[in-house]
Chain A
Amino acid sequence: MNQFIFESKHKTVTVGMMLVGVLCLILSYIMEPAALTAAGADGVVHNTHARFWTNFLHNSVFFTGISFISFFVITASVTAYAGWYVAFKRLWEAMGSFMIVGMVLLLVVAAANWLHINHLYHWAGDIEGDRILEGKSAFLNNYWYTFGTLIIIGIWYFFWRKMRSISLDEDENGTTAYEHHKTTRKWSAAFMPIAGFTSAAMIWQWVMSVDGHWYSTMFAWYSTASWFVSAISLTILLMIWLKSKGYYSEIHDEHMHDLGKFLFAFSIFWTYLWFSQYMLIWYANNGEETIYFRNRQDNFPILFYGNLIMNFALPFLILLRNDTKRKYGTLIFVSVLCLFGHWWDYFQMIKPGVMHTAQEYVNHAAGAAHEGGHHAAGFVSGFTLPGLIELGVFVGFLGLFFYVVLATLSKAALVPKNDPYLEESFHHHIGYGGGSEVHH
């Protein structure tokens, strides 16, 4: 079976997931935690709907990034003359198609910035007298945010369209002169530096600037690594699902082993970047910088330490062995863990900062005394830890992601034709003896 059929059953399930997501988004709009509302002297209750907007931003950024990385991996592999992935490159192409949906989602956030209805970003509001934010206003402003989102994701999507059309045309008109592949190499090599710089700029805008007074030069790398692990996790899960339906019989244990190695290696890479960022800030001991971690360690300890357990300790120890990267059971377990773990990672990047901004805003609007600094607010549902509503929103966005990916996947043959590395991919073998697999 070389043609994926997007059955009505799949549509029902993914649309059902989306409905759960919409319901939970509505609930998160209504159920703003009491700690983030304040009644003014005139009795008006001020509410920034921070729970709704953080959930929306969190999942939009997370899945846009997964989509971006899936496409980035293709360009990196083409540039590296890699062959092993070619048999299933259509899956990564399909995952990349979500970028355009991600652009729409993030433009909703941008529009809400202009209308001052989301209060996600301190810099998008009144910054008069705030010398740090005034100093950053050349970059942290609504024009940059909106046109950055529009143009930069637009460029990514343009490259994706280009590579996709070459890939599809190669199926039809590819020759042994491999002109398609040679063109692909040029587009890939051009995309990589563009992707590197532009993704960093947009991560600063979308995520890092929720803590507008804080910055870290490691942040873009660290959060991109988080996307990377999530993208590999979803690739493994989708691949195992597709194989269970009888598709992709060309993909065997050797390919899964390499995907498992990517999951293992990039989990460690993520940890390396996480630690480098933490260590530099801890060592320099500069109050403007340490407040970021102080707040998370003191007020969000489960988020902070859970992040390290789910995204480093467990994947490291489980995937250390050879055989766990080849067995579907352990691969599924670690992939689910890492996907959730990195979703959790983005949760802890976004929620504490926005919660602080929202508290300041409602207190200020209600005329309460300006407290300044971070203060312990106890348990705030939807912020201190992800609640059921947050999980529901996650499920909803996952449904949307699956819908878009499976729809794109159904539009082309699963295994490409005429790619020069196709045979190499079919015969991919990594030389693992396999322990008990003795053939006589």
Chain B
Amino acid sequence: MANSGKTKVLYGLYGDDEILLSAISEANKRHLDIMDVFTPFPVHGLDPLLGLEESRLHIAGFIYGALGTLTAFLGMSWIFTRDWPIIFGGKPYWSVPAFIPITFELTVLFASIGMVVTFYTICGLRPGVTNPTLDDRISDDKFCVAFDTTNSSEAEIDELKGYFSATGVEEVNTKWL
């Protein structure tokens, strides 16, 4: 089969973010199972409507940051008191104020790189990944609501099409991803 392993997507394009939000409220009322929503910019109020939970990425970020703090502070403490003690400007070996800027920098570095790597891993982004898009205009001026209709019956697809036309959609298409 040509389309084995692929997903058959039925999607509608809307012209305005306010219409999109009311369309999603309507989908929730009709208990339709939205696969995903694509917008050219972050739409305020979309996440709660879709029931998306708050990302836990920042918790990971805090842990990475704390690791950076410890790495820098304990690392410098060990280097400058045990491994290779040098006197700088008559200061004690263990000069905490001098360690603070580097501790800060490594905290930021660990947190930012750690979060980027985690985010890319979760999203499955890596070099060479091709990213199929439903429609190029969803990165320009169209707001897209997509349904997975791979295993849907004709009646179910008609119901979805009825929903689209009832909520002010501009066009409805099907695409295999």
Residues of A with Cβ closer than 8 Å to B? 275, 278-279, 282-283, 285, 320, 322, 429, 431, 433-435, 437-440
Contact B28 A440 (CB under 8 A): yes
Partner of B42, one of A275, A431, A437: A431
7 cross-chain pairs, A with B, having the tightest CB-CB distances, nearest first = A433-B47, A435-B54, A429-B44, A438-B51, A282-B97, A439-B48, A433-B54
Residues of B with C-beta under 8 A to A431? 42, 44
What is the distance, in angstroms, from B119's C-beta to the closest C-beta of chain A? 16
A-B CB contacts (within 8 Å), total count: 40
Residues of A with C-beta under 8 A to B51? 438, 440
Residues of B with C-beta under 8 A to A278? 97
Any chain A CB within 8 A of the CB of B98?
yes
Any chain A CB within 8 A of the CB of B45?
yes
Partner of B48, one of A275, A282, A283, A437: A437
Residues of B with Cβ closer than 8 Å to A? 28, 42, 44-45, 47-49, 51-55, 58, 62, 89-91, 97-98, 100-101
> With the chains together, A427 CA to B31 CA distance in Å?
29
Given A279-B97, A440-B28, decide whether A433 and B89 contact each other with a Cβ distance below 8 A: no
Residues of A with C-beta under 8 A to B44? 429, 431
**Can you spell out 15 A-B residue pairs with CB atoms less than 8 angstroms apart?**
A279-B100, A283-B97, A283-B98, A285-B89, A322-B54, A322-B58, A429-B44, A429-B45, A431-B42, A433-B48, A433-B53, A433-B54, A433-B55, A434-B54, A440-B51
Q: At the interface, is chain A mostly helix, strand, loop or mixed? A: loop
Contact A275 B54 (CB under 8 A): no
> With the chains together, A283 CA to B91 CA distance in Å?
8
> With the chains together, A320 CA to B28 CA distance in Å?
33
> With the chains together, A282 CA to B98 CA distance in Å?
9
Residues of B with C-beta under 8 A to A435? 53-54
Contact B90 A285 (CB under 8 A): yes
> With the chains together, A279 CA to B96 CA distance in Å?
10
> With the chains together, A437 CA to B54 CA distance in Å?
10
What is the distance, in angstroms, from A160's C-beta to the closest C-beta of chain B? 35
Residues of B with C-beta under 8 A to A440? 28, 51
B43: nearest chain-A partner, CB-CB: A431
What is the distance, in angstroms, from B89's C-beta to the closest C-beta of chain A? 7
Residues of A with C-beta under 8 A to B45? 429
Contact B49 A439 (CB under 8 A): yes
Residues of B with C-beta under 8 A to A322? 54, 58
